Amino acid sequence: MNVLITGCAGFIGSHFVDEVLNKNNNVVGIDSLTYAGKLANMSSFQDRISFHEIDICETDRILNIVIDSDIEWIVNFAAETHVDNSIESCDEFIRTNILGVKSLLDVCRKSDCNLMQISTDEVYGTISSGSFSEEDRLNPRNPYSASKASAEHLVNAYHVTYDVDFKIVRMSNNFGPRQDSEKFLPTIIRKLNKGEKIPVYGDGSNIRDWLYVKDACNIVYKILTDCEMNSAYNVTHRNEMTNLELVRNVTDLMSAIFEESVEFVIDRPGHDFRYSIENKKILELEINSPSDFKECLSRTVEFYEEA
């Protein structure tokens, strides 16, 4: 395949480039190299792809690339993703996560290219028990997740109105090397390395589902190649834990004293208690077994200690 991957210098996007190249496909990469997009993230493949420093809102430039490179799929990892930043100001989230997706949909409409939109489990909102399926109502509760849900509605609208074909992926929390330092797990590691307290919102009982980035990319590639069009797919290996449990895993791994390493801070506005999604649809695929969580966590810690 000829695949255009946006956000190719970001965390998950760069790992997905590795996955697509390993399957002997051709990749064109696009990234605007904001604070979360780093050339260093592309070190494993930069000489193996055609890279363009472009904002996804630059519709005409992307359309020319899609036509010139005979692109079959645009896989959109480009996004503003940090919830705290969206609470402070959501302008860039609306621009990138909604208008940027509209730009890519216009490219697809004009070129007969397909779009895979990378979304998040946060579009469902919080759930106290059970897990969300792909058919459940979207109920985003912060500006970030609202922008991602809006993008999904736009994708569906372009399919119905303009016959643009798509796949939507809703992923649980990814972790692994290359993740931007502002996110929770890199923050835990950085604070411990500096001998500082780890800030934990509220009482630390909020629950998240953690998925190793290489596992995520393996599943996303299977969805891209093997699943039916114009559908949404949850991506998870169902590895839920509280924020405090995650912190304890890292303190144990880094030989830090848990009780001396944590400070509880005022909870953020609209903090969702628990995200949980089903994975019944992807279990029909021949996907790899989950990687060992503690081994992947150790690999992640080593990456940040060596950075």
Domain ranges (residues) in the chain = 2-174+210-235, 177-208+239-275+291-306
pLDDT for the residue 294: 96
pLDDT for the residue 102: 98
pLDDT for the residue 90: 95
Residues 6+ apart with CB under 8 A from 243: 184, 200, 201, 204, 205, 206, 207, 208
Report strand pairing: 198-201 vs 166-171.
unpaired
| 177-208+239-275+291-306 CATH | 3.90.25.10
CA-wise closest residue to 291 among 180, 186, 174: 174
pTM of the model: 0.96
pLDDT for the residue 287: 83
Identify the burial level of 216 via C-beta atoms within 10 angstroms of its C-beta, where 0-12 means exposed, 13-18 middle and 19 or more buried. Answer: buried
Report yes or no: 183 and 21 within 8 Å, Cβ to Cβ. Answer: no
pLDDT for the residue 186: 96
Q: Which of 19, 124, 144, 212 is catalytic?
A: 144
Q: Could you confirm whether 292 is annotated as catalytic?
A: no
Q: Could you confirm whether 226 is annotated as catalytic?
A: no
Strand order in the sheet with 50-52: 50-52, 26-30, 2-6, 73-76, 114-120, 166-171, 231-235
Q: Which of 121, 152, 209, 272 is catalytic?
A: 121
Tens digit of pLDDT for each residue in 270-293? Answer: 899 999 999 999 998 888 789 999
Q: Could you confirm whether 122 is annotated as catalytic?
A: yes
Tens digit of pLDDT for each residue in 64-116? Answer: 999 999 999 999 999 999 899 999 999 999 999 999 999 999 999 999 999 99
Which stretches of the chain score pLDDT less than 70?
Answer: none
Q: Which of 31, 122, 209, 272 is catalytic?
A: 122
pLDDT for the residue 122: 97
| 2-174+210-235 CATH | 3.40.50.720
